[in-house]
């Protein structure tokens, strides 16, 4: 007996090995690269789908292996356009695979073959023909009253349950309720009742999601389904019917009874019903040999099963990406408002009206490109004769081949390099594009779009789904303002994949209309005003200068601020900033006073230039100013603030002439010499001379200047040049960009003169030269100084201001931001970046606090305080490191981290949007609960240190690290000094 068992076991092992080896060496397919395990068994596919990120895996596999990927022993995923066109052509001879049989619903214990699930091509054509016209675009208007009824039901329930009470609505759930109820209305003039009940009636959605999970996983090895759900033995003992099929069967029975009682209105010859069942029953009369009651039920199941969840997913994706991109949301609302003002938008929106909303249509196209409902490959079977792929590989008959919408929608040759970015503008004509070029590009994108499949098995209900989407969403976005809330985060189920999504809160009275008075139109003030505007508030930007500031010379922004700029106008602002700045440099080079090269760091390249900008401050300021103007920020320029108002009765400012500008909250971004610091916080000026000043200049290099030997060294055709020199008590930068046209240089030096803290303090070339000579700086500096126009050199005193104890006024309805709160020295390389971070964070906090200004500002301070404080404090230490070390190539080689621009990951990779999402709620709870402590104790940790820059070989008394002191102590110390 034991021998027999061993023999059987051995035989099974041999068979298994033979099977696996046979799989591995399957003809044709074995030439296709792919994951190693996938070549042996379809269990790899089962595992890959079961873990929930198959859509992401497929994209990565194609990035790694190319256009064709072996995804199973006899399964190939394709992405080459020509291959895809062959497989999914209208005359395709490539039938669906057994995956679709698994999708068949049970009716009385038996699988029901439908338009969607049948594998028989002839049968599909036969049953499609009688009802095809019911789904055509020309007949869509027949169904609009039914869609309108569902839209009105959705809005009534949202108003009654949420808006009237001012509470958050779980919109993902409600959009799914709408998708189910509207398909019920369209199919048989009866909803499922989800919106009426406000819940998953009879667990239909839960059951359908479980069925989808089962179908996705078991569909990778369809024969398992015949052992499990559709086991013929179990079928004889089981007469169950799925919940969707049960609903359809009940409604069909009701309708058949009604048909017997009242078939036609004999006077008009018209039927009272305008739904799909009416059209299915007409098909039954006209095609009795094809359509019977069972086939009508099959049509109904197809409508409800395939037409509900995919539409819900699409609605959720469009909502998600729109709300997560405030600029997109803002532009969409403007388009809807304009259309309504012109009388071209009714509520609910008519189908024809929706087709006159180009930006909305672009938003829909982009969301469905970025997040199509289906993540798996749409499987087809290679017919007799095989399939020759474009790479020359011949796939034999019976091979499963297919493409995933997620893969196809990320084809960079068609959709551009930024395929992972949500950018609706890709579906609109660019300013530099001719009409013909745009039409050709649009045709390519539409041809590569597989949201509803392609070819003769394209989803028959795609027009119906678009009707539901194009009518409801513009109506929704016109009627409601939507804000997302992080406390409702969850994983939202999508077909065969998961997306990290945030439930949206629906509100009519939160930040909408909140008047935010922003004083100071530097980068911090501009950012605050822009972000507030994009988030539905009414910012008023007050500035003493009459227009955009053109003063200044050199300014750098890096990734932590660049992310904010890049989020505006779908990257438009970032692209403009990149265009006018240093964008063709290869390196940032460091030299010592002997002009010895100490180190070279790579300058950002390619896509990184959308996040890192260096150039003329005035030019970059103009770009951001114009964007603020473009989106409708109220600009009160030429208004010098004389007084801040911060009482329970009124908040705002008084400007010259006695005019009051009032609001709900005041953000003081009025710079280093802040008036707000004294008036709002009660602090006297606490500046302390840092002991250093900085010569600065910006000018244009002429053709004659470029020919000079020293200048020619840094004017390189087609390249920008950025260099830094360090010496004893001195360091400086020279930037040359725009193909050698623009030049800026800055030189930090000991402050021997009692100069003013002013951007207009002129100095002489001879004064600059005296410092260059004293430091023994190389001749290239003298040559650049020589060509610098005398009137373009200023000497700016670098003043140290101690950290403040708090940035908030006593009422906590006014806050200091940017340099007014934390005046960084240039060596932090973060002054402007930290101001931008402040502006973005305070706007987000105001939005998320839903009108509670004091809560918003306290959370803002706790998010920002320690991070800015550490960077602020380190700026003077960084300067001393540059000035106190004996810089030699040997020293830098031994201590490479000692000579760097302090761009640590904890600084650069900081994402303000993610930080607010992550921390707002728990910090808000701290505020509300009255948690005690200093701001430093209550605030988030800074995130990192500057320790790597410090070298033990340098005496500690050579490095000056300012103490952390309360604002009151700082003011007292400054007065004594």
Q: How many other CB atoms are found less than 10 A from the CB of residue 35?
A: 18
pLDDT of the residue at 236: 61
- Whether 231 is in a domain gets the answer yes
Residue pointed to by tokens 């087809």: 380
pLDDT of the residue at 775: 92
Q: What's the token pair of residue 895?
A: 């201590």
pLDDT of the residue at 30: 92
Provide the pairing of β-strand 720-727 with 585-592: parallel
Is pLDDT at 969 greater than 50 in this prediction? no
pLDDT of the residue at 455: 87
Q: What's the token pair of residue 944?
A: 């990192």
Exposed / middle / buried, residue 435 (Cβ in 10 Å: 0-12, 13-18, 19+): exposed
The whole-angstrom separation of Cα 483 and Cα 538 is 16
Of 3-7, 260-264, 529-533, which has the strongest mean pLDDT? Answer: 529-533
Q: Do residues 51 and 155 share a domain?
A: no
Q: What's the token pair of residue 173?
A: 């759930």
- Whether 281 is in a domain gets the answer yes
Q: Do residues 136 and 267 share a domain?
A: yes
User: Residues 557-578: pLDDT tens digits?
Assistant: 999 999 999 988 878 899 999 9
pLDDT of the residue at 802: 75
Give SS3 for 916. Answer: helix
Tally of domains in the chain: 4
Q: Where are the beta strands (DSSP E) in 720-875?
A: 720-727, 730-737, 742-750, 793-801, 814-816
Helix residue ranges, H only, 104-192: 121-128, 144-161, 171-188
Q: Do residues 467 and 594 share a domain?
A: no
Is pLDDT at 502 greater than 50 in this prediction? no
Q: What's the token pair of residue 239?
A: 């007469």
pLDDT of the residue at 141: 79
The whole-angstrom separation of Cα 75 and Cα 768 is 72
**Residue 349 DSSP code:** P
pLDDT band per the 50, 70, 90 thresholds, residue 964: very low
The whole-angstrom separation of Cα 652 and Cα 676 is 11
The whole-angstrom separation of Cα 83 and Cα 67 is 9
Exposed / middle / buried, residue 718 (Cβ in 10 Å: 0-12, 13-18, 19+): exposed
Mean pLDDT for 940-950 is: 71
pLDDT of the residue at 640: 93
pLDDT > 70 fraction of the chain, expressed in percent and rounded: 87
The whole-angstrom separation of Cα 690 and Cα 798 is 6
Higher pLDDT, 949 or 609: 609
Q: Do residues 771 and 906 share a domain?
A: no
Is pLDDT at 305 greater than 80 in this prediction? no
Q: Do residues 147 and 200 share a domain?
A: yes
Higher pLDDT, 823 or 508: 823
Higher pLDDT, 777 or 14: 777
Q: Do residues 561 and 535 share a domain?
A: yes
**Cβ–Cβ < 8 Å for 977, 801:** no
The whole-angstrom separation of Cα 203 and Cα 191 is 15
- Whether 422 is in a domain gets the answer no
pLDDT of the residue at 503: 39
pTM: 0.61
- Whether 644 is in a domain gets the answer yes
pLDDT of the residue at 300: 85
pLDDT of the residue at 563: 94
- Whether 509 is in a domain gets the answer no
CATH number of the CATH domain containing 682: 3.50.50.60
Is pLDDT at 722 greater than 90 in this prediction? yes
Of 565-574, 779-788, 847-856, which has the strongest mean pLDDT? Answer: 779-788
Q: Do residues 531 and 586 share a domain?
A: yes
Q: Do residues 766 and 854 share a domain?
A: no
Give SS3 for 105. Answer: strand
Q: How many other CB atoms are found less than 10 A from the CB of residue 344?
A: 15
Query: Phi, psi (5° rounding) for residue 786?
Result: -65, -35
- Whether 296 is in a domain gets the answer yes
The whole-angstrom separation of Cα 789 and Cα 962 is 37
Q: Do residues 713 and 643 share a domain?
A: no
| Domain termination site, one of 801, 834, 861 | 801
- Whether 435 is in a domain gets the answer no
CA-nearest of 724, 730, 637 to 692 is 730
Residue pointed to by tokens 């009409």: 435
Domain hosting 731: range is 687-801
Cβ-proximal residues to 940 (8 Å cutoff; 6+ apart), any chain: 862, 863, 866, 867, 915, 919, 923
Handedness of CA 545, 547, 553, 555 (dihedral sign): positive
Is pLDDT at 958 greater than 60 in this prediction? no
DSSP string, 528-549: HHHHHHHTT-EEEEEESSSSS-
**Distance spanning both ends of the chain, measured CA to CA:** 102
Is pLDDT at 434 greater than 60 in this prediction? yes
pLDDT of the residue at 492: 36
pLDDT of the residue at 974: 30
pLDDT band per the 50, 70, 90 thresholds, residue 728: confident
The whole-angstrom separation of Cα 186 and Cα 150 is 10
pLDDT of the residue at 953: 42
Mean pLDDT for 611-638 is: 92
The whole-angstrom separation of Cα 887 and Cα 590 is 10
Query: Phi, psi (5° rounding) for residue 289?
Result: -80, -10
| Domain termination site, one of 779, 801, 823 | 801
**Cβ–Cβ < 8 Å for 697, 794:** yes
Q: What is the mean pLDDT of the chain?
A: 85
CA-nearest of 324, 651, 294, 287 to 489 is 324
Q: Do residues 388 and 362 share a domain?
A: no
The alpha carbons of the chain give a radius of gyration, in whole angstroms, of 34
Cβ-proximal residues to 483 (8 Å cutoff; 6+ apart), any chain: 323, 504, 505, 507, 510, 511, 535, 536, 847, 848, 850
Mean pLDDT for 849-862 is: 93
Q: Do residues 818 and 784 share a domain?
A: no
**Cβ–Cβ < 8 Å for 613, 621:** no
Q: Do residues 231 and 121 share a domain?
A: yes
- Whether 839 is in a domain gets the answer yes
pLDDT of the residue at 762: 83
pLDDT of the residue at 962: 33
pLDDT of the residue at 876: 65
Q: What's the token pair of residue 223?
A: 């024969």
Exposed / middle / buried, residue 22 (Cβ in 10 Å: 0-12, 13-18, 19+): exposed
Is pLDDT at 105 greater than 70 in this prediction? yes
CATH number of the CATH domain containing 734: 3.30.9.30
| Domain termination site, one of 801, 833, 852 | 801
CA-nearest of 544, 839, 547 to 674 is 544
């Amino acid at each position: 007996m034991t021998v027999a068992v061993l023999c059987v076991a051995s035989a099974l092992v041999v068979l298994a090995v033979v099977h696996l080896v046979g799989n591995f060496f399957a003809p044709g397919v074995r030439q296709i690269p792919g994951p190693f395990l996938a070549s042996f068994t379809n269990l790899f596919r089962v595992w890959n789908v079961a873990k929930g990120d198959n859509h992401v895996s497929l994209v990565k596999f194609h990035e790694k292996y190319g256009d064709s990927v072996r995804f199973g022993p006899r399964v190939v995923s394709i992405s080459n356009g020509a291959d895809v066109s062959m497989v999914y052509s209208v005359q395709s001879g490539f039938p669906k695979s057994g995956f679709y049989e698994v999708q068949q619903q049970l009716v009385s214990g038996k699988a029901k073959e439908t338009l969607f699930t049948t594998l028989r091509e002839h049968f599909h054509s036969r049953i499609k023909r009688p009802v095809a016209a019911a789904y055509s675009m020309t007949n869509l208007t027949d169904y609009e009253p039914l869609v309108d009824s569902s839209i009105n039901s959705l809005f009534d329930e949202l108003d009654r349950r949420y808006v009237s009470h001012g509470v958050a609505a779980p919109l993902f759930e409600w959009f799914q309720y709408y998708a189910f109820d509207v398909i019920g209305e369209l199919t048989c003039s009866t909803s499922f009742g989800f919106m009426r009940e406000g819940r998953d009636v009879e667990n239909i959605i839960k059951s359908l999601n479980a069925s989808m999970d089962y179908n996705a996983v078991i569909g990778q090895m369809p024969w398992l389904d015949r052992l499990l759900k559709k086991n013929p033995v179990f079928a004889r003992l089981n007469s169950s019917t799925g919940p969707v099929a049960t609903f359809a069967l009940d409604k069909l029975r009701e309708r058949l009874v009604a048909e017997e009682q009242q078939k036609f209105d004999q006077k008009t010859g018209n039927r009272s019903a305008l739904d799909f069942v009416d059209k299915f029953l007409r098909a039954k009369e006209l095609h009795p040999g094809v359509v019977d009651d069972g086939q009508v039920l099959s049509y109904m199941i197809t409508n409800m099963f395939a037409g509900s969840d995919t539409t819900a997913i699409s609605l959720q994706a469009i909502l998600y990406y729109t709300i997560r991109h405030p600029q997109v949301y803002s532009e969409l609302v403007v388009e809807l408002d304009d259309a309504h003002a012109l009388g071209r938008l009714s509520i609910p929106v008519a189908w024809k009206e929706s087709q006159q909303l180009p930006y909305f249509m672009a938003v829909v196209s982009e969301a469905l490109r970025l997040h199509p409902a289906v993540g798996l490959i749409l499987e087809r079977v290679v017919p007799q004769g095989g399939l020759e792929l474009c790479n020359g590989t011949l796939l034999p008959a019976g091979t499963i081949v297919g493409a995933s919408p997620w893969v196809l929608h990320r084809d960079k040759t068609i959709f551009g390099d930024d395929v992972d970015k949500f950018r609706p503008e890709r579906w609109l004509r660019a300013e530099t594009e001719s009409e013909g070029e745009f039409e050709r590009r649009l045709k390519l994108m539409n041809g590569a779009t597989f949201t509803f499949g392609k070819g003769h098995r394209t989803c028959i209900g795609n027009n119906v789904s678009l009707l539901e989407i194009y009518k409801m969403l513009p109506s929704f976005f016109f009627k409601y303002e939507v804000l997302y809330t992080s406390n409702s985060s969850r994983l939202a189920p999508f077909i065969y994949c998961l997306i990290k999504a945030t439930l949206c809160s629906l509100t009519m009275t939160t930040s909408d209309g909140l008047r935010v008075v922003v004083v100071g139109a530097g980068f911090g003030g501009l950012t605050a005003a822009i972000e507030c505007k994009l988030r539905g508030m009414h910012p008023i930007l007050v500035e003493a200068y009459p227009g955009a500031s053109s003063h200044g010379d050199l300014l750098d922004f890096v990734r932590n601020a660049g992310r904010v700029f890049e989020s505006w106008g779908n990257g438009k602002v970032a692209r403009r900033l990149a265009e006018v700045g240093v964008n063709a440099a290869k390196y940032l080079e460091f030299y010592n006073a002997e002009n010895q090269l100490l180190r070279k760091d790579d300058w950002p390249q390619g896509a990184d230039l959308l996040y890192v900008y260096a150039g003329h401050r005035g030019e970059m300021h103009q770009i951001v100013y114009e964007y603020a103007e473009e989106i409708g920020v109220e600009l009160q320029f030429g208004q010098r603030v004389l007084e801040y108002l911060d009482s329970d009765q009124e908040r705002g400012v008084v400007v010259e002439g006695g005019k009051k500008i009032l609001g709900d909250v005041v953000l003081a971004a009025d710079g280093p010499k802040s008036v707000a610091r004294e008036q709002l916080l009660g602090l006297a000026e606490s500046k302390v001379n840092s002991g250093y000043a900085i010569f600065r200049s910006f000018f244009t290099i002429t053709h004659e200047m470029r020919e000079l030997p020293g200048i020619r060294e840094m004017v390189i055709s087609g390249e920008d040049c950025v260099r830094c020199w360090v010496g004893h008590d001195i360091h400086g930068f020279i930037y040359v960009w725009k193909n050698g046209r623009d030049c800026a240089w800055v030189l930090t030096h000991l402050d021997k003169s009692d100069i003013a803290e002013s951007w207009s303090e002129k100095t002489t070339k001879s004064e600059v030269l005296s410092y260059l000579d004293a430091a023994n700086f190389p001749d290239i500096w003298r040559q650049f100084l020589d060509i610098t126009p005398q009137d373009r050199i200023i000497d700016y005193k670098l003043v140290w201001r101690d950290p403040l104890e708090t940035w908030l006024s006593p009422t906590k309805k006014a806050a200091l931001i940017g340099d007014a709160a934390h005046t960084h020295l240039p060596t932090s390389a973060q002054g402007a970046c930290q101001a931008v971070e402040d502006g973005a964070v305070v706007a987000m906090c105001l939005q998320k606090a839903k009108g509670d200004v004091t809560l918003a500002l306290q959370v803002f301070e706790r998010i920002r305080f320690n991070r800015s404080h550490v960077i602020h404090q380190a700026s003077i230490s960084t300067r001393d490191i540059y000035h106190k070390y004996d810089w030699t190539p040997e020293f830098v080689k031994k201590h490479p981290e000692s000579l760097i621009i302090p761009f640590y990951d904890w600084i650069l990779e900081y994402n303000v949007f993610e930080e607010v999402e992550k921390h707002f709620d728990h910090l808000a709870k701290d505020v509300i609960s009255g948690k005690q402590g200093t701001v430093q104790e209550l605030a988030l940790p800074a995130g990192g240190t500057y320790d790597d820059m410090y070298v033990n070989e340098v005496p500690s008394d050579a490095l000056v690290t300012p103490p952390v002191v309360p604002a009151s102590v700082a003011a007292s110390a400054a007065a004594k000094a």
